[in-house]
Structure 1
Amino acid sequence: MNLLQIDICENEIFEQSPNLLSMLLIDRTLSSENSQVNIFWATNNYADLGVGYQYSDQITLEAITGKNEEVIKPRAVKSREMQQQRSREMAEVFTPSWICNKQNNLIDNTWFGRENVFNIEVDNPDGSHSWIPSDKKIIFPEGKTWYDYINENRLEITCGEAPYLVSRYDSVTGEPIPIERRIGLLDRKLRIVGENTQTSSEWLKAAQSAFMSVYGYEWQGDNLFLARESLLYTFIDYYKAKFGKKPQLKSLQNIASIISWNIWQMDGLKGVIPGSCHSVQQTVQDLFDSKVTIQECKGCQKGNIHKHNGTYCKIMDWNSNKTLTFISLLKKEK
């Protein structure tokens, strides 16, 4: 496995463990202990491929493995025509890594109370932008520990391929980013984990906490799947960089399970599974006649995120190990 591989090979994951790949497709809101429901495409970009690739079809193992392993590709690898189509239809815009780095630095500047913690930003004379990674162990401010940092919750909204969380490659140019130069919020946490642990068991325990603390949601199923894949391979990258070997399958499955809860499919404006709001037909009978009325979703009518009749998305509160709806974290309108 090439650490700097951009387009991850689904067949490779499937051959190692079909269950592992299946975990990256599960929709935790709709699934139960006895039945797995997968995320769905939520885009018409693949409709020409036929049955199994329509807007509302679930993404199945068969649809993305075997001869179909190259169906889902990162935006940087997609054709220019498809990139433009997705921008027009879904306002899909991806952020270059230097901007992700700049904004992530603002978060860390506040948390650490100082600048240039993980890198120094560079504005080049030719108008390009870069950064110089810090090469010394990160020192924490008084009253805060490295464990406090890796447990700080972070959320990337409308995450696409999750470039703010992990930065295996620049999502605009497709240029691979070496592990020592990565700038994602999870990348930073895993760097801290590596600097403060010695054994594999210590690293795995701390890395699990780091993964539990990062969240992201996305409308389109293909982007969501790419984000989940990228988080899983980021785990592999950092473990291999630390210990010189790949993590065991049981460790991968544990992390994949966390990822499937924390990176989920959602309409961010409504807090529901995309397209799940609906109209309800009612028949009202009076003395002489019956009348059919159509009741629109109240949340959609009033723009109130707490009044939708769609399926509200569930996430995991890892502190209590209980599920809750995402909108339960939001203040209700008065």
Structure 2
Amino acid sequence: MQAEIDILENDILEKYPEVLDILLRDHTTQQNIFWATDNYQELGNEFQFHSQIKTTSITGDNGHIIMPRVKKDKDLQQSRVREMAEVFTPSWICNAQNNLIDNAWFKIDNVFNTESTLPDGTQKWEVNRNKINFPEGKTWKHYIRDTRLEMACGEAPYITSRYDTTTGEFIPLENRIGLLDRKLRVINENVDDSGEWLEAAQTAYKNIYAFEWQGDSLLLAREAMLITFIENYSFKFGKEPLLKSIQYIAYIISWNVWQMDGLKGVIPMSCGAKKTETTTLFGDVEVKIEECEGCMKDNINKHNGIYCLIKDWGNKDPETGRKGRKIKFIDLLKK
């Protein structure tokens, strides 16, 4: 198991062909995710705020550009806090809040672990090493199908806790507390056939969603979820999954963890004043500036930006007839 918290893009490129390209995909724009930050602009034209993140931009000699926040320069960390309100949550808080969700779902407390405080004030948790039992009327299959969402996910510490995002401490697989970690744990406990395991894992991934504004953090979240899949399969079967299985999980992640302005439901910076030019009958050019109604009225349904698409994996797409219907994220808010 990889105990290094920084997942290197060069390693992904070398070991898993096409996977990095998949992880960089934005299905709403049919392009790549973009930086959405000025932190890298001094590196050149490919690193400007609106520039797409390309595989060639973050591999080779640039293979160490994207790194977890805890490894970034302290001044850069503080500037991201000031400019983007980027704050990362200690793993013990993520665990406590995830426990609240499971307490409600299982209708009992301390299913996966028990929280504790050491004499020095350090917050920890003690993992329940016994096989997870499920309440009457529910099974592990219901649990992995239960849909969970992390908003403004950053590096996705609530989803997969490979490391503590505040200290950089690597967390062994058996001690992890993320929403996805818990789903994969119950799969490991209940499935021994590799084919069935892969199918169950795909179901688990299809029921974990997250969004993030900044492209670098979004990629880190996607990478962490991908490596978590590989780590769990290796833990269970003593070898890595086939490339096609890794590619499909990457594809699911690229749909379910997307780039979005969470206050507007659109691609970041895609809405605002729009200028249109029309030529009159007499050849004069008239310029019209149309403000974004959604921004002016604080109405999430009235923005003129690009509304983000996600995939509803359980329903058929009317265009293809296959499961996996594309929907606007904001349409979920109307239900």
Amino acid at match of 2:178: G
Amino acid at match of 1:326: F
Partner SS state of residue 277, structure 1: coil
Amino acid at match of 2:10: N
Q: For 1:36-47, what aligned pairs fall within 5 Å after superposition? A: 37-47=31-41
Amino acid at match of 1:300: C
Give 1:126 deviation, angstroms. Answer: 1.2
Distance across 1 between alignment mates of 2:181 and 2:259: 22
Give 1:293 deviation, angstroms. Answer: 4.1
Give the total of aligned pairs: 325
1:225 equivalent in structure 2: 219
Name which of 298, 301, 308 aligns with 1:313. Answer: 308
Q: For 1:22-171, what aligned pairs fall within 5 Å after superposition? A: 22-31=21-30, 37-171=31-165
Distance across 2 between alignment mates of 1:290 and 1:233: 55
Q: For 1:191-202, what aligned pairs fall within 5 Å after superposition? A: 191-202=185-196
Kindly indicate whether the alpha-carbon contact (under 8 Å) linking 2:153 and 2:211 is maintained by their aligned counterparts in 1: yes
2:14 equivalent in structure 1: 15
Partner SS state of residue 319, structure 1: strand
Distance across 2 between alignment mates of 1:92 and 1:198: 40
2:3 equivalent in structure 1: 4
Amino acid at match of 1:324: I
Post-superposition CA distance 1:46-65 (Å, at most 9, x none): 01111100000000011110
Kindly indicate whether the alpha-carbon contact (under 8 Å) linking 2:150 and 2:211 is maintained by their aligned counterparts in 1: yes
Distance across 1 between alignment mates of 2:255 and 2:11: 23
Post-superposition CA distance 1:210-249 (Å, at most 9, x none): 0000000000000000000000000011111111111110
Give 1:280 deviation, angstroms. Answer: 2.5
1:211 equivalent in structure 2: 205
Amino acid at match of 1:144: K
Post-superposition CA distance 1:302-331 (Å, at most 9, x none): 000000000000000000111000001012
Structure-1-length-normalised TM-score: 0.94
Name which of 255, 265, 276 aligns with 2:259. Answer: 265
Partner SS state of residue 47, structure 2: coil
Instruction: Classify 1:89/1:248 alpha carbon distance in 2 versus 1 (closer, same or farther; 3 Å).
Output: same
1:297 equivalent in structure 2: 292
1:322 equivalent in structure 2: 325
Give 1:197 deviation, angstroms. Answer: 0.2
Amino acid at match of 2:47: Y
Partner SS state of residue 97, structure 2: helix
Instruction: Classify 1:83/1:286 alpha carbon distance in 2 versus 1 (closer, same or farther; 3 Å).
Output: same
Give 1:9 deviation, angstroms. Answer: 1.4
Distance across 2 between alignment mates of 1:303 and 1:118: 41
Partner SS state of residue 281, structure 1: strand
Amino acid at match of 1:185: L
Distance across 1 between alignment mates of 2:287 and 2:61: 49
Give 1:127 deviation, angstroms. Answer: 1.4
Distance across 1 between alignment mates of 2:87 and 2:276: 41
Give 1:3 deviation, angstroms. Answer: 2.2
Unaligned runs of 5+ in 2: 316-323
1:252 equivalent in structure 2: 246
Distance across 2 between alignment mates of 1:194 and 1:207: 9
Give 1:199 deviation, angstroms. Answer: 1.1
Kindly indicate whether the alpha-carbon contact (under 8 Å) linking 2:23 and 2:250 is maintained by their aligned counterparts in 1: yes
Give 1:18 deviation, angstroms. Answer: 3.7
Partner SS state of residue 52, structure 1: helix
Partner SS state of residue 73, structure 1: coil
Name which of 227, 236, 239 aligns with 2:230. Answer: 236
Kindly indicate whether the alpha-carbon contact (under 8 Å) linking 2:272 and 2:295 is maintained by their aligned counterparts in 1: no
RMSD over aligned CA atoms reads 1.6
Partner SS state of residue 81, structure 2: helix
